[in-house]
Structure formats: C-alpha cells, structure tokens
A and B are shown apart, each in its own frame.
Chain A
Amino acid sequence: MTHLKQLEAESIYILREVAATFSNPVMMYSIGKDSSVMLHLAMKAFYPAKPPFPLLHVDTLWKFKEMIEFRDRRVKELGVDLVVHSNPEGIEMGINPFVHGSKVHTDIMKTQALKQALNAGGYDAVIGGARRDEEKSRAKERIFSFRDKNHRWDPKNQRPELWSLFNTKIHKGESVRVFPLSNWTELDIWQYIYLEDIPIVPLYFAKERPVVEYEGAKIMVDDERMPEELRKKAKMEKVRFRTLGCYPLSGAIESNASTLPEVISEMLLSRNSEREGRLIDKDQEGSMEKKKIEGYF
C-alpha cells in the first residue's frame, strides 16, 4: 500500500471513530486546501451515506470573496450540511484588521467566534484540519486532543495515545478536537489533491491580481474596505497564495504556477515554509502555542 493510500485509510478510520463514539460532532471547514482534503475523506468514509455531521465555518467576514463562492458551491454539489457563524459582538464593534490589527481581529472574529459557535452548537467533538508538520507546537498534539469546559488545551496534561486505540470518553461539557490529517505533510496534501482531482479555491493558482505591500507582505485588494491610501498603491502582479485566511492577513507570493503540478513543483523548490505568509504567527515567539492554550484551533 502506498503512503497516500495508507494516510487516507488512517484518516478515514479517525473520521469513522468520531462518528461512532460522539453524539454531536462537527467538522471545521476553513475552505482551504486541507479542508478540501478533509471533506473529500469524509465523503469517502461514509459512502454511500453523507457524512453524519455538519460542517462549521467561522466566518470572520474578511475572507476572500472567492473563498465564500467556492464554499457555497461545494456544499451544494456534495449535499452536505453547513453551519456558518460570525461573532455578532465583533460585527457590532466593526472589527477591522486594518484598524484594530491582526491580534485583536483574530481574537474577536476567530477565537471568540469559534468559542461562541462551539458553545451554541454544544458539539462534543470538533474535527479540524491541522497537521503536525505545520508548526512546532503542533508536533506534540494528539489526534484526539482533549479540551476542558472552557475549550482550553493543557499541553502538559495530554492523554497518552497508543496504537490506533483512541480514548473518546469525556464528561458533559468537555470536548475533543480531532485532527484526521495529523500525519499528512504539505506535500502529501498536494499530491493527494493531484491524484484524486480534488477541487480547491482558484486563489492557490497564480494569476494577475491587484496587490499592495502591507506590513511586509503582499496583500490583495479584495474589496473596498481596504483603506483608500493603500488601495491607491495597488499594482497588478502575477501572484498566488500558499495559505488562505482573511485577505488582509494572507500574504501572496509572486508566482507563475498556474496549474497543480506547477504549484507542487514550486512548493518543492521553495526555501520557505508554508506558514510564512500568515501574519498571525509572527506576532510573538511561541505564539501558536499561546493561541492554542487560549482556545484557538
């Protein structure tokens, strides 16, 4: 069995284990390439049935327009349930990453919004697309990662995880985060997308797009909310995105890779890691670990 087939089988096993042992699971859907793979695996795991859990998208209201179009199209094509949540307090406050900065925006529109959505849904298992190769603090995370009543993660008090015997027992109010893609690397994800012909958001492919330099990254002008003095400086450049999130926080890279094999080739030859384009990771050293303890995915 090839490594991709084995990874696929292991992820399917994890998804089925969630469906079999939790009463109210949900799958996080961020619209990115990892989410696309996860959704594809969920479709396989329960075939001919649909996945027995809904998708949850925490919409910060600053996602790329193309992402939202893609989301709505896929949900319709596959016939799966989707729950969308945005933080109503954040909307009222008019949170704007250009004004309030990435830290405040991420906390209110992402971390707080996620907590609200999870509390409202009463989910006991939350499936996420994080991979262990993404960031150092993730390397030690379990596949079934226990969270207390406040969604907090305690890195020093994790349950031992042996063989594929996952402990799925929790008390009322507690939950687990489940990561079926834990053992996939970025290359595995791309190869699998290529092999299985999985649809992904076109922003991953290079195209002429209007971008401006902002806080050391190339930010795409996606709508009128970008401050005018920035928009004025926009230039058309051939760029693509390695990771997708809120458009003011996702740095584009110059690229000519407009097909999947070209994207993979570029990724393999690149000397920078995938998360480099994400502005939130650079806030402070060990920042992802701190965000996770606070309840960020």
Chain B
Amino acid sequence: MTNNEQRTTIADDIIGYLKQHENKQMLRFITCGSVDDGKSTLIGRLLYDSKMIFEDQLAAVKSETKKYGTVGDAEIDFALLIDGLQSEREQGITIDVAYRFFATDRRKYIIADTPGHEQYTRNMVTGASTADLAVILIDARKGVLTQTRRHSFLVSLLGIRNIVVAVNKMDLVDYSEERFNEIIVDYERMYEQLRFSLPYKSFRQKIDFIPMSALKGDNVVENSAKMSWYEGAALLPYLDTVTIERSDFKAFRFPVQYVNRPNLDFRGFAGTIASGTIERGERIVVYPSQKSSGIKSIVLPLSPEKECSMAEEAGFPMAVTLTLDDEIDISRGDLIVKEGDKPPHFSDSFEAMLVWMDEEPLKSREYIVKLYSKEVNAVVSSIMFKRDVNDWEKIEAKSLELNDIARVKIDLTQKVAFDLYEENKRTGAFIMIDKITNNTVAAGMIAGISTRHKTERVYTEAEKALNAFVREHFPEWECKEI
C-alpha cells in the first residue's frame, strides 16, 4: 500500500485499519556497520519513509545539522536524527545500543542500533541478544572487511538465524552487478570458515544479499531502476515477508518467575512460557525437586477488571499463571517441564561461550549466575580458550578482559536445569553478576554439559598400606577405608 492509499484508508475506514493492524507481527533486528557504512542513513531513511519522523523533529534536526552535521551542504543529516545523546553527538559517534521503532502494514519493527567499533563488542552482543535478524552493512567499495567478519561472528554466536547482507553505497560503484557478485562470493567464502568457529552443531542460518544505496534510497523501500539486474526484494519488503527461522526445540519449559498467593485458596506460579505448549490436565515435573503434578488451571490475564479467564492451553511466549493439582514446594527459579518431553540437562557444571563485559577482568572468585529466573553462585573453573573476534583463532588465556570471548567451564554451587543455547535461548542464556559491585560482568551461552571439577584426593601406595594397617590393628579408631 502506498503512503497515500494508506492515508486514505486511515481517514475513511479507521476501524478497518485498526482491525488489520491488530494482527501485526513483531520483528526485532540489529544493524551492524561502522560509522561510515551509512548505517545511520539507512535507519533514518527507514524511519522517515515509514513516517516515524515528524515535522517538528525534522525541524530540530535541520537546525542541528548546521551545528554538528557531517554531510556537507545536505539539508538533513539522518545520523543526527537518530544519534541520541548530546555527549555522543559532540564526539560524532554512537556509543551505546539505541532502540528504534517503526511499523508497516505487516510488521512492527524494533531496531537495535549498535556501533561497529571493536571496543564495543559488548554493545553489539547486547543488541544481538534480543534480535531475530541481523542487517550487516558492507560498503560496496570496500567489500568484506575485518569488521564484517566481526559482525558476522558476533550475530552468529548470539544465535541469530536470519542474516541480510546489505551491500551499501552501490551508487559509488556505478551500480555494478559484477561488484555485487564479487562481494557475495567473498562473503560466502568467509562464512564457510565462520561456521566451523561456532560452538553450535545443529545451527542453520538463512543469508540473503541486497544491493542498495541508503543515501539515494535505492532498494531500501522500493526496487531501484538503476539495478534492474537485481531480482530480489528491496530491504523493507524483504523484512516484511521474510520467514523468521527458529530452533525446532518444542519441549515445554516454564521458569517460575513469581509465586502468586493472594489467599489460602489460590497458589499460582506466574511466568513466561520459554518454549513449547501446555494443556490443562497434563503432567509436569518441577526442577530441581523433580516432583511431579498435574496442571489444574492456566490463568490468562485477559480482562482483570471484569472476570478472570482460564485457558485450556497456552504456549510460547505467553505470560501466564499456572496452578497445580498438588501442594508441592515450588519457588522462583524453579523450572517446570512437561512429563514425556525431552528433559532438560540437570547439572552443577556446564561449558559456555562467555563474553566479558566489565572493565575489571575476570577474577577467580564467586559470581552470581542468573539463568532464566534462577540465581546461583558460580565460579569460572577453567578458561578452555579465547576466540579472536576478528580471525576466530583460538588463543590460550589465563584471564578475561573487557570484550574477550572465551569458551569456559562454569561450576555452580548447586544443580540446575538448563538447555543448550542453540536449542533454547531462554533456558540456555545467562548473565554473570559481580557480587561486590553488582555490575553485569558477562553474558554467557551454554554450549555443552560438563562434570564438576572434583577435588578427590589420589592416595599413594604407602598411604593405602598405612590405612590398612590402622584398620587392622586399631579398629577402635573407626578409621574408614580409602
């Protein structure tokens, strides 16, 4: 629908318009690119063309363009429109994750806008953690660069299954099909190598390439006549229709977030379904107690002022409250799973990919691991290797510093239930919190199970002989056999 048609619909049939827009889907994506890749220009254009930028904001930006603008004589510097903080504008760089919003007839979009500099791995990981799709910008003149490798590695590590490689600034290479194809070949070659650096076995990504010029608006909203050789969709229609790839993990997982007990007759377990579906009457098992029960009711928060609403079934990602047939002890941090579904891993140790996010390096002391709603004390018991974010080489490491990425083993002070990150992000992702500063120091993705490091002593032959001697001749000492 064109803008004009849409405006007519809104004016003439607002009820119809509202009906149509009630059924939109949400798509979260991250944009990866450096300052000069035209990332801000691209986002500015998407917002502008979808009317998320208003006249008064535009007027403010026009006056700011004169003050801080970096686009010469241009009237609007799109980057200024979206770079939020005054302190950053003065430095001319984006230094954090910003979230932008726009909507079309089909989808509501949330863009995590992150900087591409190496020192800000932390921010990109943060932005990628909630995204379903990544737009990776490449400057058509420069092709696949170190930063492209870094961006591709990070979004893959965070489990994003849809990648769009936006080959930007096609206007500066005369809209050359040959150049575009060259970049595709380079990228695919790079990706082959990337796949082997990932800790995930069953992980598949969908990758598509779009040639564009964000500045000129080619292939952003509409297909450009200057690149008639390109048969795919322009970026916006692509985003509107692309199928979001998901893990095929279907087992029911329900982390208990809050125990709701308003009176003696009601004891509900409130939370958000992390995966799968559940029906009233089905049998469940609770971790860590491993006690079982049946689902008595599924309370859906439908119309709280009028009447409560019960559901026969519910699924991911609904926020519901469950009541059970039996009075079993359940608290925040427990995981409810369905009997007969694939059980979660249940261990006091796991292997994970850890991204260090704090200025203070990793210490050999206890941190808090927060995994879904569960908080547990933990230590990083070994660093298996660091992974270079640019060339993906394994590096030996004794400690971890800001922006380091490493495969580590983590030991917990109690057994917890979890899944692998590649199967279920919601029960396989965790953060680490410093117990003294309370900072979020690391983000982790569970990549494997392991056994807790045992401090069992190995006895020498002489010790064993002495033990046997004592047990034989001094039984009153009640010495144990070793």
Contact = CB atoms under 8 A, between A and B. Distances in A.
A3 B108 contact: yes
A194 B56 CA distance: 27
B433 interface: yes
B383 to A, nearest CB: 20
Contact of A7 (B26, B318, B370): B26
A1 B54 contact: no
A162 B431 contact: yes
Interface string A140-175: 100000000000000110111111110101110000
A107 to B, nearest CB: 19
A278 to B, nearest CB: 11
B373 to A, nearest CB: 7
Contacts of B308: 47-48
A69 interface: no
B301 A162 contact: no
A12 B301 CA distance: 9
A19 B370 CA distance: 17
B321 A156 contact: no
A195 to B, nearest CB: 6
Provide the main secondary structure of the chain B interface.
mixed
Contacts of A161: 126, 440
B64 A285 contact: yes
B85 A162 contact: no
B317 A9 contact: yes
Contacts of A84: none
B98 interface: yes
B431 A289 contact: no
Interface stretch (A92-100, A184-192, A218-226): A184-192
Contacts of B129: 162-163
Given A160-B357, A272-B54, A289-B86, A194 B433 contact: no
Contacts of A12: 272, 301, 319
Nearest to A133: B101
Contacts of A262: 14
A9 B321 CA distance: 12
A195 B319 contact: no
Contacts of A270: 54
Contacts, number: 199
A276 interface: yes
A162 B10 contact: no
Contacts of A165: 370-372, 429-431
Given A2-B22, A7-B26, A140-B98, A167 B370 contact: yes
A212 to B, nearest CB: 22
Contacts of A286: 85-86
B417 to A, nearest CB: 16
A142 to B, nearest CB: 9
Given A9-B272, A169-B433, A140 B56 contact: no
A285 B439 contact: no
Nearest to A135: B84
Given A47-B308, A136-B82, 17 more contacts: A2-B25, A9-B318, A12-B319, A17-B257, A45-B319, A47-B304, A48-B299, A78-B305, A136-B84, A155-B85, A159-B439, A164-B130, A167-B433, A167-B440, A171-B438, A188-B108, A272-B54
15 contacts: A6-B26, A16-B271, A43-B304, A48-B268, A48-B299, A49-B260, A140-B97, A159-B440, A162-B125, A163-B425, A163-B431, A171-B438, A185-B103, A269-B10, A276-B56
A-B pairs, 5 with minimum CB distance: A44-B301, A49-B262, A286-B86, A273-B54, A43-B304
Interface of A: 1-10, 12-13, 16-17, 19-20, 40, 43-50, 77-78, 132-133, 136-140, 155-156, 158-165, 167, 169-171, 182-183, 185, 187-188, 191, 194-196, 261-262, 264-265, 268-273, 276, 285-286, 289
